[in-house]
Structure 1
Amino acid sequence: MDINQFIKKSRSITGDLKNFRLEDAPDSPFDLFTTWYQYAYDYGVEEPHSMTLCTVDADGFPDSRVLILKKIDERGFYFASGSESVKGRQLDNNPKVALNFYWKELGKQIRVRGTAVAMDRETNIGDFLNCGQTKRAFALTHKQSQPANTLQEIDEKLHEKEQFLLKNPNAINDNWIVYRVEPFEIEFFQARMDYKHVRIKYSLHESIWEKVLLWP
């Protein structure tokens, strides 16, 4: 099988593509994100809160994974992770990150560059206690990203922590961190069938967001 033949035949630029102009963009990128997200949600985009988080390891190599946006405000974008995980250690070493949202049903992409800032203990505890039991149980194993011998080993450890939570429902993980990505640059990309994609980049200068149209 020649996988490259399938790659060549794969479709791109699909979906409900809307017009987007620089003059339609508000002064705040957070306002535009809110508008786009609400439209994606109402349209029925699956998992619109899924985003790719890119970090850098100690050797300078980029790393990425998909996780969930917890919330957004005028200060930034929020997500959570165990500080013992690979991404947690990478963030501790280098907090410079990038985020990417891609909603293929609408041909929309949002790119964010900024710095990840750890929130206070109260915020971290509150978020952890609001997580589902299975997620909390996994976090309490303190083994994320570590090698495992068998699936049975994982199941047994998870069951142990789930039983622990039944007896200790308010148990917390001090390594659970909520991060806020404070952006200095946010780009909004709207695909078009004619390849004249619309790209608008917001850049933060002395607390003021400036926007500019980019070539596709």
Structure 2
Amino acid sequence: MTGAADLRQTLRDIEVFAGELPDFDPSVAPDTPVELFTEWLLTALSAGVREPHAMTLSTADAGGDPSARVLVLKDVSAEAWQFASDASSRKGRDLAARPYAALTFYWAPLARQVLVRGPVVRETPERCAADFLARGEGARAEALLGRQSQPLADLAERDAQVEASLARLKSEPDLVAPGWTLYSLRPESVEFWQGDKQRRHTRLVYLSSPAGWTKQLLWP
């Protein structure tokens, strides 16, 4: 068994910022964060980064205790970054109590990170339903159960209920889970971080104001 000292050394020996890293000149960054985010996302996709739309969603409950999980970005526009979940899930309950969140994207091969923070609102029932119906059959069958984050006796119980839910979808293909919710995070700040092998990292944050977006460099 690896001891604590061995694990500590193993962690310290892991190479970071391997390979060629892209350049980032903040002086020519676009005027809005959605333009730069789109550019970075497409660059990650072209570079072969797996699941570049995966992100960590961080929330807090009514008492301020934090929670985080990885899910996928559904859409991004000048107004909002969108994601979806069942309203009865832990993140749904957190957002009902404290409708504010952070999204973190990290594309390791490029040593790039994006942090988006802001208030979160629920989209209309029509948009929630459209998002649900655009999901794959298996994903819809599981979501129809509405039991995310609840205790599970064993995997056989899960499989049996999902199979029953799939059968239900066969007869009712337009069925929508009542708690399925499309959320929109309306950014107050969007920070872009570019790693550097010599630790001369570059951080650029966009801050929202009534007049539009302003840009500010930050110390690494």
Q: TM-score, structure 1 length as denominator?
A: 0.97
Where do 1:19-168 residues align within 5 Å?
19-168=23-172
| Amino acid of the structure 2 residue aligned with 1:77 | W
Q: Residue 50 of structure 1 contacts residue 69 of structure 1 at CA under 8 Å; is this kept in 2?
A: yes
Cα offsets for 1:57-92 (capped at 9, x unmatched): 122111000000011010010110000111111111
1:9-24 superposed matches below 5 A:
9-24=13-28
Which consecutive residues of structure 2, in runs of 5 or more, have no partner in the other structure?
Answer: none
Distance (whole Å) between structure 2 residues aligned to residue 16 and residue 181 of structure 1: 33
1:169 paired residue among 146, 150, 173: 173
Query: SS in structure 2 opposite 1:156?
Result: helix
Q: What is the letter of the counterpart of residue 156 of structure 1? A: A
Q: What amino acid sits opposite 1:45 in the alignment?
A: V
1:197 aligns to 2:201 (yes or no): yes
Could you give the per-residue CA deviations for residues 180-201 of structure 1, whole angstroms, max 9, x where no partner exists?
1100000000001110001001
- For the 8 Å contact 2:145–2:165, the answer to whether it is kept is yes
- TM-superposed deviation, 1:5: 2.2
Query: Structure 1: how far apart are the matches of 2:16 and 2:40?
Result: 21
**Misfit runs of 4+, over 4 Å:** none
Quick check: 1:15–1:104 contact (8 Å CA) kept in 2?
A: no
Equivalent pairs, count: 216
CA RMSD between the two structures: 1.0
Instruction: Report the CA distance between 1:207 and its aligned residue.
Output: 4.1
* Secondary structure class of the residue paired with 2:64: coil
Distance 1:98 1:15, change over 3 A: farther
| Cα offset, 1:16, TM superposition | 3.0
Residues 117 and 180, structure 1, Cα contact 8 Å, conserved in 2: yes
Q: Percent identity of the aligned residues?
A: 39
Structure 1 residue ranges without an equivalent (≥5)? none
Residue in 2 aligned with 1:179? 183
102-111 or 6-15: bigger deviation = 6-15
Q: Is the Cα contact below 8 Å between 1:14 and 1:104 reproduced in 2?
A: no
Counterpart-to-counterpart distance in 2, 1:213 and 1:162 = 51
1:124 deviates by 0.5
Superposition deviation, residue 132 in structure 1: 0.7
